[in-house]
Amino acid sequence: MSEVSAFRNEATYAATRLPVEMASTLLPAAYHADSFFEEERLALWSNSWVCIGLVSQVAEVGQIIVRSVAGTSIIATRDKQGSLNAFHNVCRHRGSQLVTCDQVVKAKRFRCPYHAWAYALSGECLGTPLFEGSEIPADQQAMFDMGDAKSFDKADYGLIDVAIDSWGPLLFVNLSGAELPLSDWLGDLPDRLANYGLEDWTVAAEKVYEIGANWKLIAENFMEYYHLPWVHPELIKVSRMEDHYRYQGQGMYTGMMTNPVSQADNSGWLELPPAPGLTDDELVSGRFMHLFPNVSISVLPNHVFVMILTPEGPGHTSEQTYILTHPSTMQTDGAVDAMTKLADFWDHVNAEDIEIVERVQTGISTTAYTGGRMCYRFEEPLHRFQNMVVDRMVGIDRIPEGDSEEGITVFGIR
């Protein structure tokens, strides 16, 4: 069996499929091999609801964001009717890319830079080409019009659609279409977080990190608590081991909860006022979810920290981070200073995580390492996540069930 065929074979993952108390991690090649990375693009990233950014980035008509999904450039925008649209970033004439990632764009239409074919924000082909602003004399423009071309209809040459949907502040696309709705992918997560009203929260801070590690290592680091006492001495003061519980139901996500969140002098986690209307439990707890495959969400009473992962290679990931707050939060006295402190704290925690996952990337790439046993008390969410990866690699469409009981403690005997 070839290496590539093995990556699509259920038997390859037998040790990871065992119950968590007996299971071993994914094969190391999943984190460093170019061949696995390419198969993963086809099997996982091309068949998942992938977070590409925030709804607020396309809140206005004509706002455009460009993202790479499974190595494919995608453009997302909002049309004149207020609908969200996503398309493959390619002209239907000769295949030129319409928009580049470094462009800051808010446009009335998409216009190809090569031969000026133009498209509406809703994807329809408008002209072949349109000549606004061109130097072609009006009496010569007709020779460029394809209206008389045989067997040609502009209606057949609109942009190629990509399924797009949103939940709360997050924007998602699915290259394989929407046969499995985003609502099924999310499972019970929207209901669990409904009281926060996250769709109304706005961006207060943002930062991009370039990380020398596989995207799965970053995701797995987020969803397990085992490393905190050694890697995060400050974070452990506000999110204590003994106050940590699993928090996951049906859906393509892993979840943890800290209850209560403790106040620490240097964290800034709770200095901003909480969002209105939260329950007593929500006012004192933190909820930490990783939504498969690529977005981590830390929900606190007064802010949300979002991390969106974009794989650039087997050992390189771009991470876009955002801090969101309820609109009322930043209107209070001292909010700007408190947000600066909070952003510095998250940056410090993230830097600690980046250092350790990059060290793991180096170690996991050596031939001596063949995989390791999971620690079942702390790594059940990681086991859940890795089996989602396996499902996609072997072609299984499955939504995981939730925990059999609520409030399973992470610390101590189960």
Residues forming a β-bridge with 311 = 317
- Indicate the pTM of the whole model: 0.89
Q: Which of 208, 179, 194, 233 is nearest to 320 (CA)?
A: 208
CA atoms of 200 and 340, how far apart (whole Å): 21
pLDDT digits (tens, 9 = 90+) for 143-161: 666 556 666 677 788 999 9
Question: Which residues are CB-contacts of 44 (< 8 A; sequence separation ≥ 6)?
Answer: 293, 389, 392, 393
Amino acid at 249: G
CA atoms of 18 and 159, how far apart (whole Å): 45
Q: Which of 14, 74, 69 is nearest to 394 (CA)?
A: 14
Expressed in angstroms, the distance from the first to the final Cα of the chain is 40
Q: Tell me whether the omega of the peptide bond preceding residue 293 falls within 30 degrees of 0, making it cis.
A: yes
Q: Give the single-character DSSP code of 104.
A: -
DSSP notation for 108-121: SEEE-TTT--EEET
Instruction: Provide the pLDDT for residue 131.
Output: 46
Q: Are 275 and 197 in contact (CB under 8 A)?
A: yes
CA atoms of 404 and 295, how far apart (whole Å): 25
Q: Are 381 and 256 in contact (CB under 8 A)?
A: yes
Same fold, 50-162 and 188-393: no
Residue 121 zone, left/alpha/beta (φ > 0; ψ -120 to 50; rest): alpha
As given in the structure block, the two tokens for residue 138 are: 């009006």
As given in the structure block, the two tokens for residue 402 are: 């939730």
DSSP notation for 264-319: -TTT-TTTSPPPTT--TTGGG-EEEEEETTTEEEEE-SS-EEEEEEEEEETTEEEE
Q: Give the single-character DSSP code of 271.
A: T
In this structure, how many other beta carbons lie within 10 angstroms of the beta carbon of residue 168?
23
Q: Which of 163, 194, 183 is nearest to 251 (CA)?
A: 183
Owner of token pair 């974070």: 235
Q: Which of 50, 98, 33, 58 is nearest to 310 (CA)?
A: 50
> Tens place of pLDDT for every residue, the chain, 414 residues?
677 789 999 999 999 999 988 999 999 999 999 999 999 999 999 999 999 999 999 999 999 999 999 999 999 999 999 999 999 999 998 889 998 876 557 888 888 888 888 899 999 998 776 544 456 666 766 666 655 666 667 778 899 999 999 999 999 999 998 789 999 999 999 999 999 999 999 999 999 999 999 999 999 988 876 555 544 455 455 555 556 677 889 999 998 888 777 666 556 777 889 999 999 999 988 899 999 999 999 999 999 999 999 999 999 999 999 999 999 988 888 889 989 988 988 898 888 889 989 998 999 988 887 888 887 777 888 999 999 999 999 999 999 998 877 767 766 544
Give the start-to-end residue ranges of the domains of the chain.
Answer: 50-162, 188-393
| Rg of the chain on CA atoms, in Å | 23
- For residue 96, which phi and psi values (nearest 5 degrees)? -65, 145
The CATH code of the domain at 50-162 is: 2.102.10.10
Choose the CATH number for 188-393 among 3.40.50.2300, 3.90.380.10, 3.40.50.1820, 3.30.413.10: 3.90.380.10
Q: Are 176 and 72 in contact (CB under 8 A)?
A: no
Q: Are 53 and 76 in contact (CB under 8 A)?
A: yes
In the three-class reduction of DSSP (H, G, I as helix; E, B as strand; rest coil), residue 319 is classed as strand
CA atoms of 334 and 252, how far apart (whole Å): 38
For the chain, count helices (H), then strands (E): 11, 16
pLDDT digits (tens, 9 = 90+) for 341-360: 889 888 988 888 899 899 98
